[in-house]
Structure formats: structure tokens, C-alpha cells
Amino acid sequence: MKVPLLDLSAQNGAVEIELRAAFVDVLQSGQFILGAEVAEFEEECAEFLGVDHAVGVSSGTDALIIALMALGIGPGDEVICPSFTFFATAGSVSRVGATPVFADSCGTCFNLDLDDLKAKITPKTKAIIPVHLFGQMAEMDGIMAIAEEHELEVIEDAAQAFGASQRGKKAGSIGKCGTMSFFPTKNLGGFGDGGLVTTNDGDFAARLKDLRNHGMNPKYHHHLIGGNFRIDALQAALLRVKLPHLESYCQLRAANAAEYTRLLSRIDGVVKADQADCGCPIERAGTCSSEGAKLVLPVAYDYNDHIWNQYTLRVMDGRRDELREALLEAEIGCEIYYPRPMHWQECFSELPGVAELKLPVCEQLAGEVISLPVFPELTGEQIEHVVETIADFL
Ligand SMILES: *Cc1c(COP(=O)(O)O)cnc(C)c1O
């Protein structure tokens, strides 16, 4: 039985009639840049996310860049972000001329380690970019408290967490702003590139809107040096078709994750990670339960609504790559997010302190993690097949 890592055709096929109608509407309107579709999409996103403003942009990467630009972050400024993340988080910091400073991650929830975050603050630090990795939010109460104490801005990289929430607040609604991606593999997957910046600050939203359009306002008057960071009207129109279904996509992913956890937990040597070492306020279990385990399963903290963009295991005893081979051999899609932390990337090797930097948890995770198919349309038989293949391997 073949199990793809992701199958977009089923999800998009189910709304094909509406997608075609949305396309025809835009075609006939002749309004391809900004306009009503974009404005309505932004309003619907803001409503869904519980924020005052949402600004559609060209990608999740551009969302980060434009957020940094709007904050006036540039040369001489430091921005702290996890090293265990997708490149765009750190790359955007460099793109605006600032310096990314890498902090370690939590081995349980994969998000920023708050103790290490604090240790990385210097007088040059201007902002923190927590990443809500794999669909579970980073510990925002703690992060906001640190940010307040040191007067730092917080940009939530919510590219993988559109719709996730923590203690009743959605990702992207807590920091100064949040950035989203509509890359097709994300929970709200688009039809090409697209992104969004969320904020509750009206002036900041206005600045973002000007910056995405060459800093122009009114027409041909440029008060800022912006760029072309606009989302396409067509993209907005198509995403408007999918947004009402997002909650059900996320619920199906969560059900798949729960089924993996239920079935995998029965296997000898498979444990659920239960110790938080990121500063997350859950009870510390003393010794880490992963000791002696063959496989550690991901957990959702009880105060988090995890949307499972990825279901990511830790494979112990240096057997991760072997498991990957076994899965691929069995025609089961899987991927390593991420095999190489940012502080080991060639393009960042010249940054101050990076050559000597040690981030033990992040480095360990890079060698242990593997993500399994968890997309909404995955069937029960497919999950059983993946679990059986893993059981045979172990
Ligand atoms: C996908 C992703 C981005 C970038 O989004 P794009 O739309 O592909 O530019 C940024 N940060 C994280 C954590 C991501 O997963």
C-alpha cells in the first residue's frame, strides 16, 4: 500500500466546483491586483484568527520580511529565533540586514527553549521570532513576559500554525504580529505562494499595507521604501474557498495524530514524550521518559490546540535514517524536518559566535526527528500500514 506524505488532490478535488467558480469570478472582474477579493479574504482571516487586522502578502517568507521592515529592524539589530526551524525564519532577519541569533529548542514540544532565549538577549536585541513548529504554539505567556521585561518586539512565525491556539488565543494574535504561509503543504494550503501578516495594531497594519505596495500612499507618493509583497487576487479568491473548511482539515489531522499515538503506544519501547524542558509550565517529570526508549511520540500540551501540520517522531539509538529508508522502501512518504539546524548552515557560518555555538537539544533533534504522513484525507488503513511498518522495523 502506497502512502504519500501529502495528497493535495483529494482536498482540492472536493471543492473543485467552488474553486472554478472563484477563478471565473476573478477572470471576469479583471481585478487581479488587490481589490475586493483580497480585502474580503483579509477580513475573513482576521475574523477567524481573532485579530483586528490581517494583511495578505506574497509568501510566508515575505510576511516575515515585511514585518521586520515595518518594525524598522535592520543593520546592527539582533533578532533571536530558534535554530531548529525552516530557513525562512532566520533568512528573513538577514535579508533586512539584521543579525539572527540562534536559541535552543525544547525536546518535547520542539519550540523555543525559554531559558536559552533569555540567555541570548544582549543590548542589541530588538525582537524575538518564536516559531510555532509543526502546528503547536510556543510558550507565549513566558515569551511575552521576557519580551516585556526587555522591551522586545515579538513576531510569531505561525507559518505552520494557522488556526492553532493556546489558552484560547490563536497563533498570530499574541505578539506584535504573526506571519502565516499558504505554501501548499501548510494547513491552509494555497495554489502557489501566499502569506499573511496579522496584528492588533491599526497603525502597524497600515504600515504593512503601504510597505507591500512599494511604500506608496497616496498613489505615486512613496513615504517608505517598500516593495512588491502583494498577494494575488486570484490566490485570495481560491483561499476564500478553503478557509471555511480549515477547521475540519485541522480536526482530521488531529484525529490522525491521535490514532498514530494510540497504535504506536502499544509497541514495546515506544513512549510519549512527557517532560517539558523548554520552560513550558507543565509538571516536570524528573528524568526524561525518552531514556531507554526506541521511539518518542510527539505530544500536545493540554493548554495548546495543536493543528498537526506535522506528526514528528524522535527515533533513538541513531536509527532515524534507517527508519527513513525502511519507510521509503515500503512506499511510505516521510520527511526530515529539519536535518540541519540554522547554526550549521554555510550561509550563516560567518555570523559572530556561530562557529563555536552549541545548541545541544536542537542538534540532537536534527539527528532524531522524522515526520509521518498526517494529512486530513489519510485513511485508517494507511495509518495502520504505517504503524505496522514501523513495528516491523523496531
Ligand atoms: C513555510 C515556512 C515559512 C515560509 O513560508 P513560505 O510561504 O514558503 O515563504 C516560514 N517559516 C516557517 C516555520 C515555515 O514552515
Q: pLDDT by residue (tens digit) across 111-153? A: 999 999 999 999 999 999 999 999 999 999 999 999 999 999 9
- Residue 294 CB-half CA count within 13 A: 15
* Protein residues with CB under 6 Å of any ligand 1 atom: 59-61, 85-86, 88-89, 131, 157, 159-160, 181, 183, 193, 195
Q: Which atom from ligand 1 is nearest to the alpha carbon of 185? A: 1
CA-closest residue to ligand 1 atom 5: 60
Number of H helices, E strands in the chain: 13, 14
In the reported structure, the alpha carbon of residue 346 is separated from the centroid of ligand 1 by a whole-number distance in angstroms of 20
The structure's pTM equals 0.96
**Quick check: 151 and 176 in contact, CB under 8 A?**
no
Q: Is 232 helix (H, G, I), strand (E, B) or coil?
A: strand
pLDDT at 291 over 70: no
- Residue from 86, 111, 157 whose mutation best tests the ligand 1 pocket (most atoms within 8 A of CB): 86
Q: Which cell numbers hold the place of 195?
A: 502569506
Q: Which atom from ligand 1 is nearest to the alpha carbon of 182? A: 7
In the reported structure, the alpha carbon of residue 88 is separated from the centroid of ligand 1 by a whole-number distance in angstroms of 6
**Quick check: 65 and 59 in contact, CB under 8 A?**
no
Q: How far apart are CA 376 and CA 252, in angstroms?
A: 5
Give the contacts of 254 (CB within 8 A, at least 6 positions apart): 306, 307, 308
Distance, CA of 232 to chain centre = 22
CA-closest residue to ligand 1 atom 14: 159
Single-letter residue type at 128? I
Instruction: Work out the pLDDT band at 285, boundaries 50, 70, 90.
Output: very low
Q: What is the pLDDT of residue 108?
A: 87
Q: pLDDT by residue (tens digit) across 217-251? A: 999 999 999 999 999 999 999 999 999 999 999 99
- Phi/psi at 25 (5° precision): -60, -45
Instruction: Work out the pLDDT band at 335, boundaries 50, 70, 90.
Output: very high
Q: How far apart are CA 340 and CA 353, in angstroms?
A: 18
* Residue carrying the nine cell digits 485570495: 236
- Residue from 157, 181, 239 whose mutation best tests the ligand 1 pocket (most atoms within 8 A of CB): 181
- Phi/psi at 144 (5° precision): -65, -35
CA nearest neighbour of 49 among 170, 131, 151: 170
CA nearest neighbour of 71 among 181, 195, 224, 220: 224
Q: Is 150 helix (H, G, I), strand (E, B) or coil?
A: helix
In the reported structure, the alpha carbon of residue 83 is separated from the centroid of ligand 1 by a whole-number distance in angstroms of 14
Count of CB atoms situated within 10 Å of the CB of 338: 18
Respond yes or no on whether the N-terminal peptide bond of residue 218 is cis (omega within 30° of 0). Answer: yes
Respond yes or no on whether the N-terminal peptide bond of residue 338 is cis (omega within 30° of 0). Answer: yes
Instruction: Work out the pLDDT band at 275, boundaries 50, 70, 90.
Output: low
Q: pLDDT by residue (tens digit) across 173-200? A: 999 999 999 999 999 999 999 999 999 9
Instruction: Work out the pLDDT band at 282, boundaries 50, 70, 90.
Output: very low
